[in-house]
A and B are shown apart, each in its own frame.
Chain A
């Protein structure tokens, strides 16, 4: 088994004729907390989506958890930015977390075990009492935690978080930091964030993404 959670070699990607990433190579070791930072439009979220297999590279190769991004996606917990969701969608916290237990196109409802795992994940983010609360009734920080719980319900080997501290106050940020430190013992964590203050406390290896990728911070893991 390879020791790299993510390995990218000679990756290039463009939207139409607009190049976003050029000749990117990087590796993130298993068990590492890594972060992509950089200016808006620099390609951070695109790189994350390529790692998730939601986009296909025009050149180069990506290996995630020793396989292709598409094959690895079921072993990855992904927390998107909460702003992309319809705030009035009629859904409870538990129903969202259960989505982490979806297994392809298999017909039928969630099992008792799925519900148990989802409840455990809600406890882990201190939202056990909110299981039946509508998602629309939660604060920004609580919504972030629900999405983390959904990512954890996958029982992932790697957690990918897109702007986890966007739209949350300092108190929530501190709690999130604590939770990520706890989770780090069990899995690789890759973040996209603008928040340098947040990064310095947590991240072991950083990458500055702006069309190309440069190591920004070096710690126990190698960039």
Chain B
């Protein structure tokens, strides 16, 4: 890791510094929102939103290159697509007449199809691989400022409405009886999830981003007894996996996204197996004593 940290301060490797700052900034939002996603069990919805982002990216690239909307960056398209798909999912749940899993599947695949189509129709070279699997070279200084701004929004909303969001995740019906606008908060939760996913798409990519949203929270949830502790643990783990994965990627010349996710997945597996073994040993010890 020493080489990695020396490289981070190397003035010629600005992209690495940007990737590190991005990882630090996004870890906070990922830890907070990831806890809501895991506790509310909406990982599949987060997956659909993540994949629908490609539709927004493709459309933004197309409008930029074909119609000269030069102000429209892929990140703006990603944000619009994330919020639109989050609102559609919230609306479907509010209606209660459609199968949610079917709509998740539709948003997931139609979003991808729209993105790939518009990228193919856009003149010039458009390689979707960077968006799908992440490319830290895509991170610009402007992206970092945008992520910082979005971070503040996510944290402000999560802190201001913490009791309502916690209640909606634990007992939606109970929250509704206490006058909480549960449908609006559910939509807000999905929008926060969508915005947060957009934050790290450039580092780990659309395909892998949900793993980084859910694995740290799932690991933290194995040990945390409260929502707040789960959030704090999740933030720390997300930061560790992001920086550790970047370091691995730099030292071993691996692609960054897979390095981060494999590190997170390995720790999750070790924790899962470790707890199973510890529980079995505890049960064995107790049965021997009795």
Contact = CB atoms under 8 A, between A and B. Distances in A.
B141 interface: no
Given A80-B171, A80-B173, A108-B160, A91 B179 contact: no
Contacts of B178: 73-74, 99-100, 102-104, 154
A92 B226 contact: yes
B168 to A, nearest CB: 10
Contact of A105 (B39, B162, B181, B226): B181
A88 interface: yes
Contacts of B175: 99, 102
Contact of A73 (B41, B170, B179, B184): B179
- B interface residue count range (under 10 / 10 to 19 / 20 to 34 / 35 or more): 20 to 34
Contacts of B171: 80, 84-85, 99
A74 B176 CA distance: 10
B174 A99 contact: yes
Interface residues of A, number: 32
Contacts of A140: none
Contact of B177 (A54, A85, A88): A54
A96 interface: yes
B235 to A, nearest CB: 15
A104 B39 contact: no
B224 interface: yes
Interface of A is mostly: loop
B166 interface: yes
B239 to A, nearest CB: 20
Interface of B: 39, 41, 160-164, 166-167, 169-171, 173-181, 184-185, 221, 224-227, 229-230
26 contacts: A53-B177, A54-B173, A73-B177, A74-B178, A80-B174, A84-B171, A85-B170, A88-B221, A90-B221, A90-B224, A90-B229, A91-B226, A92-B225, A92-B226, A96-B170, A99-B163, A99-B171, A99-B178, A100-B178, A102-B167, A102-B179, A104-B178, A105-B179, A105-B184, A109-B162, A110-B163
Interface of A: 52-54, 73-74, 76, 78, 80, 84-86, 88-92, 95-96, 98-100, 102-105, 107-110, 134, 150, 154
